[in-house]
Amino acid sequence: MKKISAVVAMFAVTAFAGAALAADVIELPASMGKVSFPHKKHQELLKDCKKCHEKAPGKIAELGKDWAHKTCKGCHTEMKKGPVGCKDCHKK
């Protein structure tokens, strides 16, 4: 079962053209410790929504450990930027 409920940490009330609403920071719960994902920062940094949203922006059906470690950690490793250590992502 998918355990994601994107708990909203902050509300992005600004809708820029073509982009649906999403929180600035999305809390991804995990037994290891939740991951505070700076969504807006990644949008601005990467520009390309498809880096994470393969189809359409919105909920990610595959979201979970395997997807996240491959996608998130994979890119950080590749770009030599962004957290790669367990505790750098998973905070209590």
Q: Which residues bind ligand HEC (CB under 6 A)?
A: 3-4, 6, 19-20, 22, 26, 28-32, 35, 37-39, 41-43, 45-46, 49, 51-53, 57-60, 63-65, 68-69, 71-73, 75-76, 79, 81-86, 88-90
Distances (CA, A) of 92 to 2, 5, 27, 30, 37: 21, 17, 12, 10, 14
Residue 92 CA to residue 86 CA, distance in Å, equals 12
- Count the neighbouring beta carbons within 10 Å of the beta carbon of residue 23: 17
> Taking the complex as a whole, how short is the minimal distance between the CB of residue 27 and ligand HEC, in angstroms?
9
Choice between 10 and 29, CB closer to ligand HEC:
29
The least distance separating ligand HEC from the CB of residue 13, rounded to whole angstroms, comes to 14
Q: How far does the chain reach from its first CA to its final CA, in angstroms?
A: 23
Question: Nearest approach, Cβ of 92 to ligand HEC (angstroms)?
Answer: 13
- Give the nearer residue to ligand HEC in terms of CB position, either 9 or 82: 82
Q: Copy the structure tokens of residue 88.
A: 């750098």
